Structure 1
Amino acid sequence: MYLTEHFGLSLGALVVWGFMMAFFFNLFLWFADLKRDKVLLITSFFAFISYFVSDHLFTWFESSQIYLQWALYDIATLGVIFASAFMVKPNLKSPAFFYVVLGLIANTFLFFSMYYDLHVIENTKTWILWDIYSFGVNIIDFTMIVALIVDRDILGLIKLKHVVMSFFKTRRINHSI
């Protein structure tokens, strides 16, 4: 119990640190005039602020309501990122933006699932959702951090999206003939 509790605190701090470093890296690229992508800078800033605030307002004495609070943080973060990014640049092509949005949506789904399982159904027995949540949220967080730093399609998700979209586009054209 002692080890897992401190490991969770350390992992949370590492994620916040990672988002902070991603923001500072993008800020450096902006000021060094190496990459002037406002959407990337805005996305990394708001992702860092969101994780920083949610981590510092978290206490270990919270109930299962914390999952609902984290889901609401992610929804608010998505709203702020979308609003800011579209005001700056309506044509969004940053892979990091795509990965952060997809990651926040996936985390929100996992948070709502855990909240529903623990608070609404009042389940107290561990099952596969808890493992998926534990590994999924952390993997998603680190994937977002890496995507913010490298700003590349690191998992091929954007390429997959284009393949799926072109498949459905051609199927729609063939059915209309």
Structure 2
Amino acid sequence: MFLAEFFGLFSLSAFSMWAFLMAFFFNIFVYSLDVKRDTTLLLSSFIMMISYTATDYIFTWLSYYDTTYFDWAIYDISTILCLAIAFSFIKKTTPSFLYLLIGLSVNSIFFLLMYLDVYINKNLESWWFWSVYQFSVNIIDFLMVVALIVDRDFLGLHGIKRKLTRLFKTSKTQPTT
């Protein structure tokens, strides 16, 4: 786990928490200046800031069992549910919303796979997946923060979503022979 050894486990966690806090403050600032009055973006950044603050390494001592990866998966799934509930009330989204849902989903899958590897399979020897996990989770966190700040489809996820939606709609309407 190169990143954890180089930067330290706690500093990466603190950086993610700080980055989501700054994204929330940025969105409050933009909202208060009346530059962008998008409550969905403000609410999404608030939910992400609360989620990452509550699930920081500092607060993992609240876990009853020593299953940190499983706890993080549950936290991410809970955050997805909170975002979905917020969406159900507001009924509109921003470009960053899809990035948050995909990022949290991929992170929770990585957490569950690490939980299976470390706690179920009892693997304590570092292998390539651990490095992929460490790199991916941190990059995804960074991309979610960027999505909350720029609020643009900078990776083209919405274009891919539209193409897949059209593909599935046309495959359902065409009769199979």
Equivalent position of 2:151 in the other structure:
151
Equivalents in 1 of 2:82, 2:170: separation in Å? 35
Equivalents in 2 of 1:6, 1:126: separation in Å? 18
- Taking structure 1 as reference, are residues 31 and 113 closer, same or farther at Cα in structure 2, changes over 3 Å only? same
Residue 86 (1) aligns with residue 105 (2): no
Q: After superposition, what is the alpha-carbon deviation per residue over 1:21-43, rounded to whole angstroms, capped at 9, x for unaligned?
A: 11001111111111111111111
Equivalents in 1 of 2:135, 2:6: separation in Å? 15
Q: After superposition, what is the alpha-carbon deviation per residue over 1:35-68, rounded to whole angstroms, capped at 9, x for unaligned?
A: 1111111110010111111113036xx9861001
Tell me the amino acid that sits aligned with residue 40 of structure 1. L
Tell me the amino acid that sits aligned with residue 169 of structure 1. K
SS at match of 2:55: helix
Q: How many equivalent residue pairs?
A: 172
SS at match of 1:35: coil
Equivalents in 2 of 1:148, 1:84: separation in Å? 16
Residue 9 (1) aligns with residue 19 (2): no
- 2:27·2:45 contact (CA, 8 Å) conserved in 1? yes
Give 1:157 shift: 0.9
Computed over aligned residues only, the root mean square deviation of the Cα atoms, in angstroms, reads 2.2
Q: After superposition, what is the alpha-carbon deviation per residue over 1:119-173, rounded to whole angstroms, capped at 9, x for unaligned?
A: 0111122223212211110010000000000011111111111111112222222
Equivalent position of 1:19 in the other structure:
20
- 1:42·1:85 contact (CA, 8 Å) conserved in 2? no
Tell me the amino acid that sits aligned with residue 32 of structure 1. L
Equivalents in 2 of 1:137, 1:48: separation in Å? 16
Equivalent position of 1:31 in the other structure:
32
- Taking structure 1 as reference, are residues 143 and 6 closer, same or farther at Cα in structure 2, changes over 3 Å only? closer
Equivalent position of 1:106 in the other structure:
106
Equivalents in 1 of 2:165, 2:87: separation in Å? 23
Structure 2, unaligned runs of 5 or more: none
Percent identity, aligned pairs only, is: 40
Displacement over 4 Å in runs of 4+: none
Residue 165 (1) aligns with residue 165 (2): yes
Equivalents in 2 of 1:132, 1:6: separation in Å? 16
- Taking structure 1 as reference, are residues 132 and 63 closer, same or farther at Cα in structure 2, changes over 3 Å only? farther
Equivalents in 2 of 1:127, 1:152: separation in Å? 36
Tell me the amino acid that sits aligned with residue 11 of structure 1. L
- 2:87·2:93 contact (CA, 8 Å) conserved in 1? no
- 2:103·2:140 contact (CA, 8 Å) conserved in 1? yes
Structure 1, unaligned runs of 5 or more: none
